[in-house]
Amino acid sequence: MSKISVIIPVYNGEKTIRKTIESVLQQTYSDFEIIVINSGSVDSTLDIVSQINDPRIKLITYNKANVAINRNRGLTHASGDFIAFLDADDIWTEDKLESQYQALQEYPQAILAYSWTDAIDEMGNFLRVCSHASWKGDVYAQILLDDFIGNGSNVMVRSCAFDKISNFNETLTNAEDTDMWLRLASCYHFIPVEKVQVFYRISSSSKSNTNLLGLEISNLKVIRESFVNAPPSLQYLKRHRTANLYKYLSYKALTVTPGKQKNLQVIRFLWQSVKNDPALIHKPIIYKACLKLILMALIPPDIASKLLSKFTRLSDVSTFFGYIKTNLL
């Protein structure tokens, strides 16, 4: 029996799945199994995975389903004492498993280890710092305020946790990982590995870019349900958590090719950001975002693209992340 089970759900991942699996096979810690859940892929994903010759890989095919269902499918096949999840377009540094396993050995009170994450583009080039949190121990209040884990490829969890915490919520088409980390944090301690070990790939076809409405709905559901169960002393965080969500959505909605933005949706996201964090009205990012939207909405897309590429300070709305509140406790 392998010590660590790595669960990789994949649907039509022919462009990235090989590099993703190779980033696991190159780990300095080798006592693992890789459970690839092929979710009804119709491209060459199945052939690519089948050609990778390593006895630690288990390839199992199911009908197409959402990520939550596929992670749960992987859990039914996992035999390890520890579970790590990896999305089919993300990659790890070679010491990711070893570092997180060691952290959990040194801090037995913790049920989950997480690392720092940077974002990369479709070609694997660095985009931006994603999540460099260092919260340790009882992190429930911190993760109520902000999902500092950042993505589903980050964590290693003791498999015994799933005996007490139910599996991923299969009704969620987005934010299923945030929901899981919240439920785990309500019962257990977390431990960070303070170095970048996860590269989260952002592509134009990823669901976080193509379905912002679904992202909004799922996250609002998670926020609503998590604060129903939160103690009264933490209820004041709900407004700030909602503001954090809409700042992120505003960034995502404006980081598209001119002509592809949904103007009314962007306006609504910006309004909700300010409504839930009124101090934002005094910050330059709101006016930069409004100016960018006006430019994208009123000028022909090809001209808008040229202007934004020339005036990069206007096109870059990543400063929204600087206004996401992470420490109000």
pLDDT at position 2 is: 79
* Predicted confidence (pLDDT) per residue in 63-72, tens digit: 999 999 999 9
- C-alpha 166/C-alpha 278 separation (Å) is 37
| Of 302, 199, 202, 300, nearest in space to 255 by CA | 202
**Residue spans of the chain under pLDDT 50:** none
In SS3 terms, the chain reads as CCCEEEEEEECCCCCCHHHHHHHHHCCCCCCEEEEEEEECCCCCHHHHHHCCCCCCEEEEEECCCCHHHHHHHHHHHCCCCEEEECCCCCEECCCHHHHHHHHHHHCCCEEEEEEEEEEECCCCCEEEEEECCCCCECCHHHHHHCCCCCCCCCCEEECCHHHHCCCCCCCCCCCHHHHHHHHHHCCCEEEEEEEEEEEEECCCCCHHHHCHHHHHHHHHHHHHHHHHHCCHHHCCHHHHHHHHHHHHHHHHHHCCCCCCCCHHHHHHHHHHHHHHCHHHHHCHHHHHHHHHHHHHHHCCHHHHHHHHHHCHHHHCCHHHHHHCCCCCC
- C-alpha 115/C-alpha 190 separation (Å) is 11
Please name every residue paired with 36 in a beta bridge, in sequence order, or none if there are none: 8, 59
- C-alpha 182/C-alpha 228 separation (Å) is 12
CATH topology of domain 4-207: Spore Coat Polysaccharide Biosynthesis Protein SpsA; Chain A (3.90.550)
pLDDT at position 214 is: 95
| Start-end of CATH 3.90.550.10 domains in the chain | 4-207
Reported pTM: 0.94
Could you tell me the two tokens for 78? 């996992």
pLDDT at position 313 is: 87
pLDDT at position 247 is: 98
Give, in order, the Cα–Cα distances in Å from 308 to each of 19, 127, 208, 249, 255: 32, 17, 22, 20, 11
